Amino acid sequence: NAGVTQTPKFQVLKTGQSMTLQCAQDMNHNSMYWYRQDPGMGLRLIYYSASEGTTDKGEVPNGYNVSRLNKREFSLRLESAAPSQTSVYFCASSPTLAGGGQETQYFGPGTRLLVL
């Protein structure tokens, strides 16, 4: 099992460019998440998907869109990148959505994004 995989690992964008971050999991999990991590800020939730076909906003959704393509894949799109979106992006998955207890999240290796 590969667990949670993310592509690309690194990306440099110019302001205004668009890109899609890809995430896939092979653990048959229902729920998937996108976080961004900035120095001193911890992990902040951008969007999440409780199950295939549903997506919801997290704490910091502005400037992002997501697509739950199928049960395995959850992508994050930056339509017009801004320097404030320079960050490390982590995708995670869990068996079901948090709220019932015991829902461990498994993280991918991260994508390091620099917007110039």
x/- contact string, 70-99, with another protein (CB under 8 A)?
A: --------------------x------xxx
Shortest reach from residue 32's CB to another protein, in Å = 13
Residue 99 and residue 109: Cα distance in Å, rounded?
Answer: 25
Neighbours of 43 (CB within 10 A): 16
Task: Assess contact for 16 and 101: CB atoms under 8 A.
Answer: no
Position among 23, 24, 50, 60 found at the interface with another protein (CB under 8 A): 50
Indicate the residue among 81 and 91 with the shorter CB distance to another protein: 91
Distance CA 31, CA 92 (A): 8
Site string for another protein, 7-36 (x = CB under 8 A): ----------------------------x-
Q: What's the rounded Cα separation, in Å, for the pair 35 and 90?
A: 5
Q: Can you give the binding site for another protein, defined by CB under 8 A?
A: 35, 40-45, 50, 59, 90, 97-110
